[in-house]
Structure 1
Amino acid sequence: MNSSASNLDPAELSALLHFYTDAGVEWLVDDAPIDRIAQFEAQKAAKAQARVPASARDAGNRDAGNGGQQAASGTGPASRSRQAASPPPSMQSSAAVPDGGAVAAARFAAESARSLGELKDAVEAFGGCNLKNSARSTVFASGDITSGIMIVGPMPNADDDRDGAPFSGRAGELMDRMLAAIGLSRDRVMMTNVIPWRPPGNRMPSQAELDICRPFIERQVALAEPKTLLLLGNFPARFFLGGNGTIHSMRGEWRNASIAGLEIAALATFHPQELLAAPANKAFAWQDLLTFSTRMNGG
């Protein structure tokens, strides 16, 4: 049975929107149909025209005024100028990928911050990473920055992006239960992610995007000076500990993480989202939490 959103009560509408978010839907249907293919082609043509030198455009206009057919057929001098000005498709990029200059800008912004508050402002003001353009929120650290315990996830998910806080939604609820099981809570630890912006569709960030975000997470560690790290999932474990191992091979064992000039004891385990997808791993995660708790209690 078809139903309109206007016929749903607030609870039903909230549940529907939450379902769309979990399914990766980021755009709703517009009021009128839009030919996205034609729109894209028009944008591409406009960008190509903008790259043509003014002298070449003037020459093309003179050819058109003379009734020349070469420009229309793509064989005239203006057309050749446009072809020479545009690199081959394999060399073009649909977006501005962060380069060495952007990495340097991120490093300068991070190193200029003298407190976590200043660093938060710097991350929110930074515009050199494509991930920020598609994300709804900049998700910065939360919790007790003086606790000595830093819990690090990979990147914000849809719930984090919506709420603007790390470990939100169902994964956050499970994280709360995991912490409570060893006598902790989110207001007694520092919680953050390696990447502060949600990648589109929850994809993995590219190496260039990681290079951009690295100075910010390293500065977080330097300013917070945690005594222990709890790394959740493959991405944070590889980032802090190195190597290409999986969380199955890296979990449950204390290792030293060298970052921001510090040597920090780190323990890797499963991310709550991974436990929701594969509940059988909860037994392993519980063992890891007990190992973490033993060290926290001086064992």
Structure 2
Amino acid sequence: MSQAHALNNAELLSVLDWYHAAGVDLAVGEDPIDRFAQKPPAANTAAPARVLPMPGAPAPAPIPLAAGPVGGDPTGARALAASAQSLDQLRSILETYDGCGLKFRATQLVFADGNPEAKIMLIGEAPGAEEDRQGKPFVGRSGQLLDRMLAAIGLDRTKVYIANSVPWRPPGNRAPSPEEMELCLPFLHRQVELVAPKLVVTLGGSAMQTVFKTSVGIIKMRGKWEDLSIGAHATHGMPTLHPAYLLRNPAAKQQAWRDLLSLKMKMDALGLG
């Protein structure tokens, strides 16, 4: 089928939708390239001549493979995370850590936002496209909704500390693989240990399952407080719905509001208001 005709607006939008669904959401060059107008290189049917080494000559050196990310070692990740004595050190370690392949596909590290002295810590799932661009968790529409949710109970980003289960954006906003989660989890645990929050609220099902070590769904678990051990830190934790989910399902905001009221009551009981 010929692809020589110019695409109309509807067809162009359809192509963009297809790219977005495939996880392509960043341009790699400033100028667009019409791949349909390019001609494939002519096939070279002649087999390359095979050069045999002279008798007694040393074997040719192997061609080195292209450098790239390799799978990390969870034991090494745990040792690196444990060596951090401050949040600044932990951030520096993550910036130089090459064990998780997500780093090589993300724009930058998304470490944290808010007050590191806060006694309330919010843990999300993984950075999205806007977080990847700005280097901060929960920005864009979901971040704006989160700010309004916090303001409804007298909180803002100066009174909470916000992090993600995974500090690099997965391509196309896919869910992190179990291997990627295992490599990132020691750094999240150390982050919690260094912040030492009295209350932890997870946002979304993936963050809940990671922090609470459960396979139960978010709808069944949300709004319930539990005693938690995250790394070596003991705290109280509650899961609630992710702001992005609330944007897609506005009717669920009623459930999230009940969770916020429960958080406010817990803050008051512990003198954190």
How high is the TM-score relative to the length of structure 1?
A: 0.71
Q: Which string of whole-angstrom CA distances, capped at 9 and with x for unpartnered residues, describes residues 156-186 of structure 1?
A: 0111101110100000000000000000001
2:17 matched to 1:27? no
Write the deviation string for residues 6-41 of structure 1: whole angstroms up to 9, x where unpaired.
Answer: xxxxxxxxxxxxxx89x85223675444599x89xx
User: 2: CA distance between counterparts of 1:32 and 1:175?
Assistant: 39
Cα 1:212–1:164 shift into 2, 3 Å: same
Residue 232 of structure 1: CA displacement? 0.4
More helix by share: 1
Q: Does the 8 Å CA contact 1:148/1:226 hold for their aligned counterparts?
A: yes
Q: 1:254 corresponds to which residue?
A: 225
C-alpha spacing 1:243/1:155, structure 2 compared with 1 (3 Å): same
Q: SS of the counterpart of 2:123?
A: strand
Larger relative contact order (C-alpha < 8 A, sep ≥ 6)? 2
Q: Distance in 2 between matches of 1:111 and 1:28?
A: 36
* Structural RMSD (CA): 2.9
Compute the displacement of 1:149 (Å): 0.6
SS for the counterpart of 1:231 is strand
Q: Hey, which bits of structure 1, 4+ residues long, moved more than 6 A?
A: none
1:1-299 alignment to 2 at 5 Å?
25-27=25-27, 30-33=31-34, 60-62=50-52, 98-99=71-72, 102-298=73-269
Aligned to 2:99, the other structure's residue is in SS state: coil
Q: Which structure 2 segments of 5+ residues have no match?
A: 1-7, 10-19, 42-48, 55-67
- The CA deviation string for residues 226-262 of structure 1, in whole angstroms up to 9 with x for no partner, is 1110110101111111221111001011012221122
Deviation per CA, 1:115-174: give whole Å up to 9, x if none: 001101111111111100010110001211111110000010111101110100000000
Unpaired segments of 5 or more residues in structure 1? 3-19, 40-58, 66-94
Distance 1:287-1:31 versus aligned 2 partners, 3 A rule: closer
Q: Distance in 2 between matches of 1:28 and 1:223?
A: 37
Does the aligned pair in 2 maintain the 1:139–1:164 contact within 8 Å?
yes
**What residue is the counterpart of 1:84 in the other structure?**
none
Change (3 A) 1:219 1:24: same
Alpha-carbon distance between aligned partners in 1 of 2:235 and 2:196, rounded to the nearest angstrom: 9
3-state SS of the aligned residue for 2:269?
coil
Matched residue type, 1:207: P
Mapped contact 1:152–1:193 kept (Cα < 8 A): yes
